[in-house]
Amino acid sequence: MADHAPRILLADDEHAIQTLLTYPLRKDGYEVVPVSDGREALARFGEEAFDLVVLDVMMPRMDGLEVCRRLRARSAVPIIMLTAKAEEIDKVLGLELGADDYITKPFSLREFRSRVKAALRRARMSPAPEGDDDHDKPLVVHELEIDPAKRSVRVRGETVQLTFVEFEILDALARDPGRVFTRDVLLTRIWGDSAYRDPRTIDVHIRHLREKLELDAKEPEYLFTVRGVGYRFRDER
């Protein structure tokens, strides 16, 4: 478990939103650093260590999507996007750029706190369940190597960089080869629940995983689609 309070970088240009979100997070025991624009967010991230970044999409000087893209190019830190736009393309674009989750305004504080807790849990801010030592053992399947303890993945001898969510989805599927996981089950497995989330979020992350792991994403060796149901991992070593 981390020996410090989780640190959250909160970027939103609306002071009222900053205040609204900062208070409950600090009450939950998190250290929150609020900033008002994209450039300031990048600067603070370069100066200090953070366990989670919350980005509003619409910000002055540099929008949240560009900040997300730049952060993801150099860090696997969990990123939650806040957007006032309801169009599907805006949600998908955030995920395409590497965001782990998104919340569409208006949202409840209960929902927001749930998303934050889930993101930090994925980032290993909480201890692993007792009796789950086997989960930390490396897994080798054909030319794919997964090391949960190091959160590292290699395929065909090359190291592959995955986001937190991508790693969690891959690890969940690979630990139970052949089992068909529905999108809702994966949402619950990764985020702690499937409330408020579009099941198609899983589709985007699976596509990213295939692009990174498969020789041909259209003819996968590891991650298979079970049409109308969900996804499964290869059941042959």
- pLDDT tens, position by position, 36-71: 999 999 999 999 999 999 999 889 889 999 999 899
In a domain? residue 191: yes
In a domain? residue 1: no
* pLDDT mean over 154-162: 93
Name 118's bridge partners.
none
Shared-domain flag, residues 55 and 153: no
Rounded to whole angstroms, the Cα distance separating 161 from 27 reads 34
Rounded to whole angstroms, the Cα distance separating 220 from 41 reads 38
Name 159's bridge partners.
154
143 confidence band (pLDDT: 50, 70, 90): very high
Shared-domain flag, residues 168 and 100: no
Domain boundary among 89, 122, 155: 122
Within 10 angstroms of residue 152's Cβ, the number of other Cβ atoms is: 15
Shared-domain flag, residues 117 and 201: no
Within 10 angstroms of residue 207's Cβ, the number of other Cβ atoms is: 14
* pLDDT mean over 72-88: 81
In a domain? residue 128: no
Domain boundary among 99, 122, 145: 122
* pLDDT mean over 146-172: 89
Shared-domain flag, residues 117 and 39: yes
Identify the CA nearest to 20 among candidates 100, 112, 96, 148: 112
Shared-domain flag, residues 158 and 83: no
Shared-domain flag, residues 83 and 156: no
Provide the residue range defining the domain that includes 102. Answer: 7-122
CATH code of the domain covering residue 58 = 3.40.50.2300
Shared-domain flag, residues 164 and 59: no
Domain count, the chain: 2
Identify the CA nearest to 49 among candidates 3, 1, 7, 5: 7
* pLDDT mean over 102-120: 86
Shared-domain flag, residues 28 and 114: yes
Q: Examine the pLDDT at 74 and tell me if it is beyond 60.
A: yes
Shared-domain flag, residues 82 and 113: yes
- pLDDT the model gives residue 237: 62
Shared-domain flag, residues 137 and 117: no
Q: Examine the pLDDT at 188 and tell me if it is beyond 70.
A: yes
Domain boundary among 92, 122, 152: 122
- pLDDT the model gives residue 86: 62
Q: What DSSP assignment string belongs to the chain? A: --SS--EEEEE-S-HHHHHHHHHHHHHTT-EEEEESSHHHHHHHHHHS--SEEEEESS-SSS-HHHHHHHHHTT----EEEEES---HHHHHHHHHTT-SEEEESS--HHHHHHHHHHHHHHTT-SPPPTT-GGGGS-EEETTEEEETTTTEEEETTEEE---HHHHHHHHHHHTSTTPPEEHHHHHHHHHS--TT--THHHHHHHHHHHHHH-SSTTS-SSEEEETTTEEEE----
Shared-domain flag, residues 147 and 90: no
Rounded to whole angstroms, the Cα distance separating 176 from 181 reads 9
End-to-end CA distance of the chain: 33
Rounded to whole angstroms, the Cα distance separating 107 from 188 reads 19
Shared-domain flag, residues 100 and 146: no
In a domain? residue 127: no
In a domain? residue 49: yes
Average pLDDT, the chain: 85
CATH code of the domain covering residue 209 = 1.10.10.10
In a domain? residue 100: yes
193 confidence band (pLDDT: 50, 70, 90): low
1 confidence band (pLDDT: 50, 70, 90): very low
Nearby residues of 61 by Cβ (< 8 Å), 6 or more positions away = 37, 38, 39, 40
